[in-house]
Amino acid sequence: MQLFTLLILTALILCQAVQAAGSLWQGQAARSNMFADKTATSVGDIVTVIVQENASISASKSSSTKKDSAVSDAISKLLRTDVTNLPGFDWSSAGTFAGGGDISNTQSAASQLSVTVIDRMPNGNLVIEGMRRVTMADEINYAVIRGYIRPKDITAANTILSSRIADAQVDFVAEGTLTEAQRQGWLNRFHSYVNPF
């Protein structure tokens, strides 16, 4: 009888311990699972963007116009009388125009930038934003990325291609003496603006 009572008391204590411990499944368990990929899923997480942007623009345009005109006028008779000494005039004009232009521009950018998830949309998409500033030899380079990504586009290495970013804003801006040396002076820029030829 005492053994039976002891078993019942032990079972009750174990039941209370399990209830105190709560569920074995915790809300954060999925994120700390040793078998799960460590990818960005929530606000504050970091994801690495692999920037591979290539842009190429090419256009050609040509136009030409030509116009000829001629006018000849003379008075040969006046009041039924032949007249040869009255003045007359001849006039002719010709004009031609030809113009054209070619545009060719190719740009490419390759970089990697870690950005932060700043918001999670109701449909599960993530809003990312990040900036990197690098200073070398008095030259400051900024890289800024913003946009929307889908969690399923994030690789197991927690990276995503820039081509997978929706409404992407990818800016590379440079400031410094080297950048200034590549720009035209203000007088040359003004002359190019007002020059009609």
User: Does 21 reside within a domain?
Assistant: no
In a domain, 107, yes or no: yes
pLDDT at 106 over 50: yes
Q: Say if 161 falls within a structural domain.
A: yes
Q: Is residue 167 part of a domain?
A: yes
| pLDDT tens, residue by residue, 34-69 | 555 588 888 989 999 998 877 777 888 888 888 888
Write out the two tokens for 178: 């080297």
For residue 115, being part of any structural domain is answered with yes
Q: Dihedrals φ, ψ of 194, to 5°? A: -95, -10
Residue 26 lies in a domain: no
* Average pLDDT along the chain: 77
- Which domain range does residue 111 map to? 46-183
| Whether the predicted model's global pTM rises above the 0.85 cut | no
Q: Is 123 helix (H, G, I), strand (E, B) or coil?
A: coil
Q: Is 37 domain-assigned?
A: no
Residue pLDDT, tens place only, 122-137: 999 999 999 988 888 7
Range from 28-32, 144-148, 175-179, 192-196 carrying the lowest mean pLDDT:
28-32
The radius of gyration of the chain's CA atoms, rounded to the nearest angstrom, is 40
CA atoms within 13 A on the CB side of 20: 6
Q: Which residue bears the tokens 């934003």?
A: 129
Number of domains in the chain: 1
Q: Is residue 5 part of a domain?
A: no
> For residue 29, what pLDDT is reported?
46
pLDDT for 103:
80
